[in-house]
A and B are shown apart, each in its own frame.
Chain A
C-alpha cells in the first residue's frame, strides 16, 4: 500500500484528490524519520557490543525498537487518523532529535568509551537505575515534596501576611521594614549552621530555611502590590460604604494578587536551592540526600537519574503554580505562558 493511495482515501470530502499536500508529506516523513532514528538507536544498543559492564541494555533496546516501530507506522498510516497525526506532528521534530541524541550518547559512552568512564554512564545504565532502584527514588521524591511543601506553604503564608501588613499599617512597617531589609536579601543558606543547632531537628530547621527563602520575595512583592493599588479603587469602595476589612480583603488583596504570584514564583524557584542543600547537609532523606549518597558510592548513573527526577519535580511544581495563577487571575490577560 502506498502513501499516496492512503492519503487519497483518507482525504474524504476534500475537493482535490490525487497527490498529497506538502504538509502531509512532511508530517509523514518526520514521523518515519523519528521512528527510524529510534529503531537505529535500538539496533546500536543491542548489536554493538558494550565496552564495559552495564545492565538493562536488552530491555532498553526492546522498548526503543517498539517506540520507533510505532512512530514509523504512525508516519505511514497517519492519513487514517488525521487529527492524531496532526497532534503527533508537534512532537516529531523533538522525537527525531532525541533519537539521534541517544545514538550519539550510546556511541560515545558504552560503545566507544570516548567520554571518560565511569563519570558518563550510557542510557541503559540510567534505565537500570529506574528499573531496579525506583522504590528508593520514589521514597526520595515523596520526602523532598513533603519538605518543600511544608516550607513553601509556611513561608508563603507568613510572607503574604507580612506583605499585606506592611502595605497597610504604618506602625507595622516602622518595626518590620528595617528588620526585613537587613535579613531578607541575605541567602538563607548562611543560616544553615546556626539553624541546625538552634532548631530541635534538622528537619524543622530545613522547614524554617525554606520558609525564610520563600517568604522574603513573597512579602516584598505582596507589599509592593498592596502599595501600588490604584487609589481610585479605594475611593469607589469607600463611597459605596466599604468598611476597613472590606478595603483590605475585597480591594487591596485581589488587586495585589498579580504581584503576589510573581513573589510566589520567585520564592518557589529560590526554595529549591535551599531544599537540595538542606537535604545534602542534614536531612537524611529526599533527592538531595540521594544525590549525595550516590556520589559517595560513585554511583554516577544514580546521580543522573536523581537529577532527571529532580528537574521533573521542580518543573512540575512550577507548572502547578502557573496553573493556579491562570485559574485565580483569569480576569487578567495572561502574560507569561509556562
Chain B
C-alpha cells in the first residue's frame, strides 16, 4: 500500500528537453565532434526512439540525459530544471546488463533502493518487480547462471524498482537472440503503458523503433544531428506487417540512405 500512496502522490513521467546540445570527445588532443546542435523535447509519458547508424552518437546523448556527463554546449533539462548529475529518477538500462556478479538477482535489483537508503521503506517493491519481469523464482541465482535474456530482465527490474520518471534504454535488446528480443519488446511496452514513465530508447533497429515508440527521431551519421522527427500514432500491440509501418520503414531507410539496398 505504501507504493500505491507513492503512485498517487505524484504524476509519473517527466518532460525532457534537449536544447541546442553539441558534444565533443577529446581524443589525444584532437576534438571529435559527436553531437551537432541537437534539440528536441520528449513530453511526459512519451516513448521516444532515437534511431541512427551505429556509432553516430545516440548513446552519448543518453549519457548526457542520464547526467553521467555534462554536454560541451547546450542544455539538457528535466521538467525545466537543468540536469547536472545522475539521479535515481532517471535510470538507464545499458546494452550489457552489467549486473554485479557478486550479488544475486534479488540483491542486484535492490541496488538502487540500497544506495538511496530506501531498503526498509520500499523493500517490498523488490519482489513485486521481480514478479513483474517473471524472475521471482530466480531471486537467489547468481548472474553467471543466467541467460542473456534473463540477465537483461534483471537489469530492467533493477531500473523499474526505483519507480523512475524517465527510463533510458540504451540498445537494451541489442545483444539478445531474435526471439527473446521480440518478446521483450512487447514486455517493455507493456511495462511502460502500465507505469506511465517517459521512455527514451536508443536503437539502430528500425522495426524495433516502429513497434515500440510513439515517436521516432532519426539521426544522421556522426556528428549526429536530427534528420527527421516522426510521430507513430498507432495503437498497441502493433504488428510488423502493418502497411503503415512498412511505409514508415521504407521512408526511414530512405532517410538513412539505405533505400537502394532493400
Contacts and interface: CB of A to CB of B under 8 A. Distances in A.
A331 B142 contact: yes
A182 interface: no
Nearest to B66: A239
B68 A238 contact: yes
B74 interface: no
Given A246-B115, A331-B142, A239 B91 contact: yes
B90 interface: yes
A237 B115 contact: yes
B111 A232 contact: no
Given A331-B142, A333-B144, A239 B90 contact: yes
B138 interface: no
A255 interface: yes
Interface string A231-252: 0110111111111001000110
B137 interface: no
Interface residues of A, number: 22
A333 B142 CA distance: 11
B16 to A, nearest CB: 15
The DSSP consensus for interface residues of chain A is helix
B92 interface: yes
Contacts, number: 65
Which of B66, B96, B101 has the most A CB atoms < 10 Å from its CB?
B101
Contacts of A26: none
A335 to B, nearest CB: 13
Contacts of B111: 236-237, 240
A240 B92 CA distance: 8
B129 to A, nearest CB: 13
B261 interface: no
Contact of B88 (A232, A239, A329): A239
Given A233-B100, A257-B102, A241 B94 contact: no
B94 A232 contact: yes
B71 to A, nearest CB: 17
B92 A254 contact: no
Interface residues of B, number: 26
Nearest to A246: B115
A320 B92 CA distance: 41
A331 B101 contact: yes
A291 to B, nearest CB: 42
A240 B102 contact: no
A235 B92 contact: yes
Nearest to A251: B100
A239 B96 contact: no
B53 interface: no
A230 interface: yes
B101 A240 contact: no
B86 A238 contact: yes
Contacts of A230: 98
A337 interface: no
A250 B108 CA distance: 11
Contacts of B144: 331, 333
A169 interface: no
A311 interface: no
A176 to B, nearest CB: 27
B206 to A, nearest CB: 27
Contacts of A241: 86-88, 112, 115-116, 162
Contacts of A246: 114-115
Contacts of B102: 254-255, 257, 329, 331
B125 interface: no
A16 interface: no
8 contacts: A233-B98, A235-B68, A239-B92, A241-B115, A241-B116, A331-B144, A332-B101, A333-B144
Interface of B: 66-68, 86-88, 90-92, 94, 96, 98, 100-103, 111-112, 114-116, 142-144, 158, 162
Q: What 8 pairs across the A-B complex have the smallest Cβ distances?
A: A241-B88, A240-B112, A242-B115, A241-B116, A232-B98, A238-B86, A331-B102, A239-B86
